[in-house]
Amino acid sequence: MKRKIIVTGGCGYIGSHTVIALIQNNFEVIILDDLSNSSKETIERIYKITDVKPKLVIVDLKNDFETKRIFEIHKDAIGVIHFAAHKAVGESIEKPLVYYKNNLCSLLNVLEAQNQFGIKNFIFSSSATVYGLPKKLPITEANKTQRPFSSYGNTKKIAEEILDDFTKSKSDFSAISLRYFNPIGAHESGLIGELPNGIPNNLMPYITQTAIGIREKLMVYGNDYPTRDGTAIRDYIHVEDLAQAHVIAMQRLINNENKTVLEFFNLGTGNGYSVLDIINSFEKISETKLNYEVTDRRAGDVPELYAEVELANKTLGWSAQKDLNEMISSSWKWEQNFRKKINKVLDFSIKKTQD
């Protein structure tokens, strides 16, 4: 009998890559997703890669009754990995109530449902943004969290505080919060990857969409930072490395290896790369010249962020395996494959209308 894991937001970017890693580690996966920032076509793509079609339940996790009804059906699950959340930093600043309501009500409903049906293991998708503006680098889990700059980031910080109180109130519920640095890249097959709705907020999808001709040019947000080339530095990590970390963290809880009822781990490579590093590497790998222009800094950006990853290395026995070249080339491969597919569908539909 396969052990069942519920993955909320499992059709999303990091969620779908984690679903693949779970299936490849012989788990049965139930995906709960409202498809607000993803597509059910992802299920077909997961099927192509793993030969397994995970069950998808389309649900708004802000609906308490619906959430409980689904958890009752799947109360034999042994754990939950919770990705479901809105994640656009800029949008969260314009629409804070939408973010607090969506991200926190969904979390509360999932935790209540788990509590009601005795599902004891919980992995939370958190973010390095909970550290705010770091006083020193690299950032370790011992760094105190600070008020993030965006409502998105603050929903992650508040969620961790909710988890802290909830796990302390229970004797048999354990959680691990995984604090991602900058996830980029795509599955090596080129069949799934990041699919941002509308204009990408993040650097990597904006670069690949510019290179493929969807965007006219990349704006580089500031080159007057106190860094080696003036552009901001981040710790980019391959999404497949992130996915592996989620499986390892879930197995840690299932095997009762966790030392406390709530643990935190930074998920990064420990290396910082600047925006210009990424652009230069992309131009080399793609053999294309990227059209970009330096503009003002973006509000809320910090000059430099990169992780101390010793705790995850030592305690989880996990470390990032893929380097910057693999991150960038997999992003580019995905963008090309996806656009090729889109153009094929467009050509087909144009032909059909002409016939």
Interface with ligand WQD (CB under 6 A), residue from 71, 124, 173, 206 = 206
Token digits for 27? 């788990």
DSSP for residue 230: S
Position 219 contacts ligand WQD (CB under 6 A): yes
Rule CB under 6 A: say whether 146 interacts with ligand WQD. no
Alpha-carbon distance of 147 to 131, in angstroms, equals 8
What's the DSSP call for residue 264?
E
Q: Which of 21, 203, 253, 320 binds ligand WQD (CB under 6 A)?
A: 203
Task: Count the residues of the shown chain that bind ligand WQD, applying the rule CB under 6 A.
Answer: 18
Query: Any contact of residue 254 with ligand WQD (CB under 6 A)?
Result: no
**Of residues 155, 228, 207, 164, the one with CA closest to residue 329:** 207
Residue 275 in the binding site for ligand WQD (CB under 6 A): yes
DSSP per residue, 105-163 = HHHHHHHHHHHHHT--EEEEEEEGGGG-S-SSSSB-TTSPP---SSHHHHHHHHHHHHH
Contact 236, 279 (CB under 8 A): no
Residues 69-108, interacting with ligand WQD (CB under 6 A): 87, 89
Is residue 201 part of the contact set for ligand WQD (CB under 6 A)? Answer: yes
Smallest gap from Cβ 1 to ligand WQD, in A, equals 34
Stretches 53-61, 105-113, 195-203, 263-271: which one binds ligand WQD (CB under 6 A)? 195-203
Site string for ligand WQD, 37-76 (x = CB under 6 A): ----------------------------------------
Comparing CA positions, the residue from 112, 107, 119 lying closest to residue 80 is: 119
Which of left, alpha, beta for 59 (phi over 0: left; psi -120 to 50: alpha)? beta
Return the number of the residue (68 or 215) whose C-beta is nearest ligand WQD: 215
Judged by CB under 6 A, the residue of 62, 75, 120, 298 near ligand WQD is 298
Does residue 306 have an active-site annotation?
no
- The interface region with ligand WQD, picked from 27-35, 138-146, 166-174, 219-227 by CB under 6 A, is 219-227
CB of 115 to ligand WQD, least distance (A): 27
Give min distance, CB of 4 to ligand WQD, in A.
27
Cis preceding-peptide flag for 138 (omega within 30 of 0): yes
Q: How far is CA 154 from CA 99, 141, 157, 264, in A?
A: 9, 17, 5, 16
Assess 281 for contact with ligand WQD (CB under 6 A).
no
* H helix and E strand count, the chain: 11, 13
3-state secondary structure of 53: coil
Beta bridge partners, 236, equal: 182
Residue among 13, 99, 152, 225 flagged as catalytic: 152
Pick the binder of ligand WQD from 43, 107, 232, 242 (CB under 6 A). Answer: 232
* Residues that bind ligand WQD in the complex, under the rule CB under 6 A: 87, 89, 127, 129, 182, 201-203, 206, 218-221, 232, 234, 275, 298, 301
Residues serving a catalytic function are: 152
